Structure 1
Amino acid sequence: MLPKRLVAFEEGKDPASISAKMNSSRALSLKAIQIFLLLLVLGLGFSIISMNTFRYFGKNYVTPEAPSTVQPCFVEASSTKSWIGTPSSLWHAMNDTELFWRASFSPRIKEYPFKRVPKIAFMFFTKGPLPLAPLWQKFFDGHKELYSIYIHSTPSYIATIPPTSVFFNRHIPSQVAEWGQMSMCDAERRLLANALLDISNEWFVLVSESCIPLHNFSIVYRYISRSKYSFMGSFDDHGPHGRGRYNGNMEPEVTLSQWRKGSQWFEVDRRLAVLIVEDIKYYPKFKNFCKPACYVDEHYFPTMLTIEVPHLLANRTLTWTDWSRGGAHPATFGKSDITEEFFKKIFERETCLYNNQPSTVCSLFARKFAPSALDPLLELSSKVFGF
């Protein structure tokens, strides 16, 4: 093999020239590296200076951004205040399944970590307007911290209630309720579920647009809050309108001896309200096998609660009703019926047990009163009802 210098000479290349070119290339590479390092040092220095400048002065030069209009699906509560208390509006997008599930939540720790003032939830079950609202307004005035109001009306009804009214913004999302059908009980459960969302509600009173209070708010609150029992009418009627409505298909969940009847209008405490809302055991039986002439609103809640918690029921209603005229509906009272003597007779006839002791105060509410009764009721309210 020929030496490299000889090979180069034979190919016509000058070895000295080649060596010079190689030295030149090395010089250029070294210079490029030096330039690169210089640029790198300058870049790092500039970055450090920029960051320090921004730290002290950057806030003055930041262009403000428009706040985001996208809201998160769920915002974690920072304190209990975010879910305690009566909301200004009761509207929501939950269906009944979601609502009942949410309302069935019940704290296992009975001591509240905040000052809780227990309230009475007044649940108005109505087709449309509340013609006796001015009388109820007088009843509620001055007791804002002790009550809450919920209204279930026909979905097509559009309420026109002034902002000064205690009934303003108190309608809940509703559905059609047909007399004698399970949809009546659905509406009542819907009212209870919405009221249960307010942790301060301890007692739940169901009334209609034709109901009136018979005593002032202080007496009503004291009577309900001090009672050992909930007021759900429940009795064993052996006649055709009681046991005669029983369907053997209700077994084994409900037997004939457990079948009960009672008034639609009730008052229950929070524990019983949760039992009613969370029920999936008895509901299908009543929905499928208690249809007219079995009127489910007279049997479902009284029977279920008598089976589950008989020791917590007073077995009577707090709402006075006159059935003396017979028929499927109670008597309705208009303008000409409203006198002091009329209410005196109601009060004098009443005897009952309250906390297992004899009492002459048995009814806190009464029905049915026509819209024409409003003016005389307002005139007598101070003298007869005490408000």
Structure 2
Amino acid sequence: MKKDIRQMHLKTLALYFLILVCGIGLGATLIFCLYSIPLNSKPKQLFTFQIPPTTLEEQPPGLYAINSQVPNQTESTTPTTNNMVSNTTTGIIKEEPKQITETPRPAISSAFLHGMRDEQLFWRASMVPRINKTPFKKIPKVAFMFLVRGRLPLSPLWARFFRGYKGFYSIYVHTQPYFVGEVAPEPMFQGRRIPSEVVTWGEISMVEAERRLLASALLDFSNERFVLLSEACIPLYNFSIIYPYLINSKKTFVECYDKEGPVGRGRYDHKMEPEVTLEQWRKGSQWFEVDRHLALEIICDKKYFPLFRDYCKPACYSDEHYIPTFLNIEFPEVNSDRTLTYVDWSKGGPHPYKFGKWEVTDSLLKQMQNGTECLYNGEPTRVCFLFARKFVPSSLIRLLELAPEVMHF
């Protein structure tokens, strides 16, 4: 019995030895094969994918920053649209049909991701063509930049406003980064949310958000005018009035005035001298409209923005002072010193009045449209405000009811 057990152990040891020899031989063979592969050989691609071509209107700004295709209104290369004409002096509004022939732009193959830090974003947005004349026919667009906390409650009204004018506008939305969900269910708002940081209303982070929106919108070379709007803003006219009003304007619209007292000059810090003096200090609304030239100057500013970041702190609200002061010092001749957004301060307090459902009437909206007189390109006009705020979400139904009659959309 002991002899049989000994023989069994010998057979087991022989089997283990055979397995060990085979393993060493197989390993040596694999190592030899790996070392014999040339260093300049390329691995085969197991998976391939291709980014589908998209139009500039369909591409999300948070994904692809550049696309050179002019969006087609229809499958035809000569889409039919409305020739948007408005006489801001007399208030006469008319629309004339016109054929627009679009020349497609050359494709830019190296689209890059928009997941950039602010420094990278501003650097990329500051790159502008030195030849002003484009080698393709460009339709100037208006960039509507929404600075919101989360959802856009009045989006159904804005959807009616944008409907039918694809190719003449761009949308950008800056929300709080912790907001989860859709900003708005309408198609024109899908994919329009840009990478954002936490915003504290009234502090320097608000100005940083505004500059981030401008830089994102500047990546599209077709954007010529840039409008900053809040979640409580509404349009007072249809698109065929607002678009030519902005595109044909010779000046930008940033509210800018000198105000005595604690909420004006009282917020100034003498540590800003000599770059910013008390006489140059200005106040205004944060909801502005600028052209492409001023948008570039704002995001490229390395002289005044650091001063506001360091010395304009609560109760100095940077969003009410930075851009008005900057334009007052550097570009006073190109600004109209007025805002395009109507607000009601008649009730007093630190914030404008909020319009609820039962306060929205046709007479109220018409008063916002024609209740004042101002200058537009040197001529007097009663079309002074293109937008209005603040409207609470409960006013949406009433606004949708009045939109066809009062705003004509």
TM category, shorter: 0.7 to 0.9
Report what 1:110 is aligned to.
132
Tell me if structure 2 keeps the 8 A contact 1:86–1:198.
no
Deviation at 1:134, TM superposition (A): 0.3
For 1:242, the equivalent position in structure 2 comes to 264
| Alignment CA distance shift 1:307-1:327 (3 Å) | same
Give, as a single letter, the amino acid of the residue that structure 2 aligns with 1:303: T
Alpha-carbon distance in 2 for matches of 1:235, 1:101: 31
Q: What secondary structure does 1:277 align onto?
A: helix
**Change in 2 beyond 3 A, CA 1:86/1:276:** farther
Quick one: which amino acid aligns to residue 88 of structure 1? Answer: Q
% identity of equivalent residues: 55
Are residue 304 (structure 1) and residue 326 (structure 2) matched?
Answer: yes
- Counterpart check, 1:255 vs 2:239: no
Give CA deviations for 1:294-345 in whole Å, capped at 9, x if unaligned.
1110000010111111111010000001111111111101101111121232
For the 8 Å contact 2:357–2:395, the answer to whether it is kept is: yes
Amino acid at match of 2:61: L
Q: Which residue in the other structure is 1:215 paired with?
A: 237
**Normalised by the size of structure 1, how large is the TM-score?**
0.78
Amino acid at match of 1:236: D
Aligned twin of 1:351: 373
Hey, what's the Cα distance between the residues in 1 that align with 2:357 and 2:224?
35
Per the alignment, residue 88 of structure 1 pairs with: 59
Distance apart, 1:162 and its partner CA: 7.2
Q: Which amino acid aligns with 2:350?
A: A
Structure 2 partner of 1:373? 395
Conserved 8 A contact 1:193-1:277: yes
Alignment of 1:1-387 (within 5 A): 67=45, 85-86=56-57, 88-91=59-62, 92-160=114-182, 165-387=187-409
Specify the code of the residue in structure 2 equivalent to 1:67.
Answer: Q
Letter of the 2:59 counterpart: S
More helix per residue: 1
Partners of 1:181 and 1:162 in 2: CA distance = 26
Residue 87 (structure 2) aligns with: none
Q: Distance in 2 between matches of 1:362 and 1:164?
A: 29
| Contact 2:304-2:326 within 8 A present in 1 as well | yes
Deviates more, 1:132-141 or 1:163-172: 163-172
Number of equivalenced pairs: 314
> 1:106 Cα shift?
1.5
C-alpha contact (below 8 Å) 2:254/2:336 kept by paired residues: yes
* Contact kept? 1:84, 1:198, Cα under 8 Å: no
Unaligned 5+ segments in structure 2 are 1-42, 63-113
One-letter amino acid matched to 1:331: Y
* Higher-Rg member (1/2): 1
1:159 partner amino acid: G
2:262 counterpart SS class: coil
Deviations 1:169-188 (A, max 9, x none): 10000111001110000000
Maintained 8 Å contact 1:85/1:199: no
Q: Hey, what's the Cα distance between the residues in 1 that align with 2:326 and 2:152?
A: 31
The 1-side partners of 2:287 and 2:145 are apart by 10
- SS of 2:283's partner is coil
